[in-house]
Structure 1
Amino acid sequence: MSARTECKADSIGPLSPDCPDTEINQFYQQLEDTLRSSPKKDTHIVMGDWNAKIGNDNTGFEQAMGNHGFGSQNERGLMLLEFAIKYNLYICNSRFQQKDCRKWTWTSPFGLYHNMINMSASSLRPTLHTRSNQKETESLKNNTIQHSFQTALEDKLSQLNTNTEDINKYASDIYSALNTTIEETIPTARKPRKAWISEETLILADKKRKIKNTITTSNNNRDEYRKICNEVRKAARQDKEKWLEHQCKQIEQSAQEKKSRATYQLIKDPNCKHQPRQLTIKDSNGTILQTKEEVLSRWTSYCETLYKSNLDDRSRIQELDEISPPLDDTEDLILIDEVRKAIKQLKHHKSPGTDGIVGEILQAGGGALVTHIHRLCNEAWKKEQIPEEWT
């Protein structure tokens, strides 16, 4: 039951499909008594055969489950989700993507039907390494927001000390000015997990979240909470139907206009499945490496071996001297037009680096930002040293 206290609850057995409501209520009451008797600071883990189906749609229940459940929800599944919300538990079975055959915990005779009714709920939520509350860079197309961003950024950049000898501090100051301006001027994106969820449904879901905080105060609030949960699910289903209908019309129009690329992409969007990223690799002995440091070390070793040359350093330097054009050290090798052109050519909708700065932000920064990036690049060239941020 918890990380520190083992609560004896042998009398709380699995729920069978034909249990009357009185036994179900008694089951949850005993479980609640057990949770209340354990220290709140402990991590609670509740596992067992609930005989409840929570389904694969977590709209309105994001706090208690993920969007990788199985099947459709039933009344007992709703009771389980309400119980999980009340005691701040999370149903771990639904958190990560799995094949359907790995979600089933019950199979009917002859294998005709499958259900996920055995579940594990924990007060410690499993996390995914995703960046939340990303800024809506599309809003930079708005002239008012873009002007506000450029003005605020120019003001912050004008306060930087450009005479500093510490190239790392200079790069860090530019990043800080960018990051602060982003937080102050660019609105946070509000994007639903599903493409078809409308703004009206999101507002309804917000209302449901407010009501759920009062479900323990009275039965009327609990009934109202159930009602609005049904409304949220109904609205989400209607949104999906409208979205699919719109997609079909777009596919038909693109096909008639002979736009094969757009047609393929429209067909792919509703049907494409998530492809998990490979975050682990093996070393030369076949041992799986998981930590970031081990993976980086392995890639370094692999690349060193891959590009290893039999030539000694002297021969390599001589070869480079023969093919390299003569350089004038007194010339300013990096022109501001080159920096401006490089920023302009950055592609949109690309994932940011560790600093979280995307290309659209640099392009919207204006002339002041280009000037500071140009100065930073030249300092790096002259000192033959790159800022740690770039590594």
Structure 2
Amino acid sequence: MNRYNWHLLGLCEARWKNAGEIQTEGHAFYYNGDENRHIHGVGFLVNKSIKNTVMGYQPVSSRLITIRLRAKPFNITVIQAYAPTKDYDDEYVKDFYSQMQDIINKTDNKDILIIQGHWNAKVGRDALEDWDEFIGPSCNDTTNERGLRLLEFASYNNMMLANTLAEHKASHRWTWQAPNGQHNQIDYILVQRRHRTGINRPNTRTFPGADVGSDHDLVMLNFRVRLRKVNKPKNTRLRFNLEKLKDPRISEVFQATVGVKFAPLLQLDEDLEAITNNFNLVMTETANEVLGKSQRKSKPWVTDFILELCDKRRNQKKKKNTPEGRAEYRKTNKDIRREMKYAKQRWITKQS
């Protein structure tokens, strides 16, 4: 996200259970998954530079989540979708699209609506003659049955498949590489036709250089709009470096300082509320003097070796077109996940 300066990143197959919100490196991650199993899962990673524009998010299902951003001249509603694969029957797919239509029907008509995700559908140039209002030339050669369903959905809601509109070279068009090495475009970003002038078409494409450890490549919508800050109460909670209390000498100084400051206050004839307020003030002052503020470090268990593996994987991605290159990439990806798991366990053990 930092490397490409993206503001909002939609994710599919996150495989996190339940719904929630976490902060990571200053960015905000909103997610929703299955209640019982680590399957499906969708989410939004919001860049810290715009996270104060978030008006709210709605976890709908393990395949659908929405987020709303305050912007000018209209607010923006984004739906992240993870469509069923071919392993699911037509009735299941129909329910998925019906649920998504319900979300659209409840969306403020004034909002700019964007729907993005992994559609498990192929839209091709063979559909241009009948669907040229909704797609462009930068797509597959042929359209499959799920692709036709997606086109019908886009037409019904008067939306365009934004990443097909401009002519792109193949590597900027493909979004997924099958295990056999074949490339396809099955990920799309839908934008309302009435807002099509806001689409920067040449820069709305696949970015194969973005290494995310997946067989899918990231697709970016470059859209011209002004975001507005949402005024929220600031979190004034102070965080102190409590790790220092593990040092017996510092712990002793802390206790002694609190005792010296608080003892005279007990001699005053005050009610319980005043005593409590004085105690909190003493604790805060002492913690600030003795411990200092905590400097939060994101993922402190990430080692230099793991970062080297990430660089290695990024370079190997360029060679994924060969069987040997794909095998090396997958091996390095597994090595990264294994090292991350063990490094985190070692770090947690040291903290206890």
Same topology, TM > 0.5: no
Return the index of the structure with the highest Cα Rg.
1
**Bigger relative contact order, structure 1 or 2, given CA contacts below 8 A and separation 6+?**
1
More helix by share: 1
More strand by share: 2
If the length of structure 1 is used for normalisation, what is the TM-score?
0.30
